Amino acid sequence: MPRVKKSEQALPPIANYESFVNAVTEAYPSLSDRFQQVARFLTQNSNAVAMQSINTIAEQCGAHPSILVRFAQHFGFSGFKQLQGVFQTRLSTAAPGYRERISALDADLEKNKRKGNLGFLHDLVVRDIATLQELLNAVTEKSLADAAKLLKNADTIFIAGQLRSEPIAGFLRYVLSMLRRRVILLDPAGGLAPEMAQVMGKDDVLVAISFRHYAKEVVAVADVAASNGTPMVAITDSQLSPLAKNAAVLFTVPEDEYSFSRSLAAPMCITQCIAIALAALLQEDSEATPHIPTVTENQRRKV
């Protein structure tokens, strides 16, 4: 009989989706590479897991269906079907109507899949719509308020975002500068971002933005923040992200890890919302709608 690895010994049964994600997050470092691959897919594609067959999920995940079964059993379930029930319960309670919405989107995709480049545009747009709607279920009032409070009280706001996240980091620097915050963008020029981050202190805040495959320098900067006691607002794709473990406020943006084109619509949307929440906090004595001025407006005020 083959010897069972410690990381593949069965764990106690798990009652709900939140408990499952917490258990996976805690066990993740000790899981085998194959189990880590499955864990990432399941936690980043929860709605697909709830709705699709085990064969379809296995194909998208890049693993054999038997791996999914063993993964479920590792976390105390009788099989993958029982684990999938946890995802289905979450979907039915957290996002009423999502199944019908996705079915409608899939039908639209099927009708437009042979329409050339316009079909590609349609594909991207409807998937962004679904992701943005799911974002409403993933973000809480408390997380937005906590992030805004940290940014308001920070002496200096450091921003780290590279590769695909670089445009988001640049945009956030712009809006925070317009709100008259002291901002430093830890850009990759010269490979000095981790060194620049060493000056971060307990009265500062780091906003770290990274998605799989996580930019090494952004992860390094996040580790520096943890060592220096600097609070971090993390915008990433999963509770299994290397940014998640030390985040004071964590925003997980749902996305399809295995799609060719990863949209910036949802990450940009949450970034804009954080900025608006900050503007509202800075302007809380005003009855006006929260407003982020532009460079032109600020120049006009000086005249």
Q: pLDDT by residue (tens digit) across 282-292?
A: 887 565 677 77
Q: Largest Cα–Cα distance in the chain?
A: 82
CA atoms within 13 A on the CB side of 225: 31
pLDDT of 49: 87
**Torsion sign (Cα): 279, 282, 284, 289:** negative
pTM over 0.75: no
CA atoms within 13 A on the CB side of 177: 14
DSSP annotation of 178: H
**Hey, how many other C-beta atoms are within 10 angstroms of the C-beta on 113?**
12
User: C-alpha dihedral over 224, 214, 240, 167, to 10 degrees?
Assistant: 90
pLDDT digits (tens, 9 = 90+) for 138-180: 889 999 999 999 999 999 999 999 888 899 999 999 999 999 9
pLDDT digits (tens, 9 = 90+) for 240-270: 888 888 899 999 887 654 444 567 888 999 9
DSSP annotation of 207: E
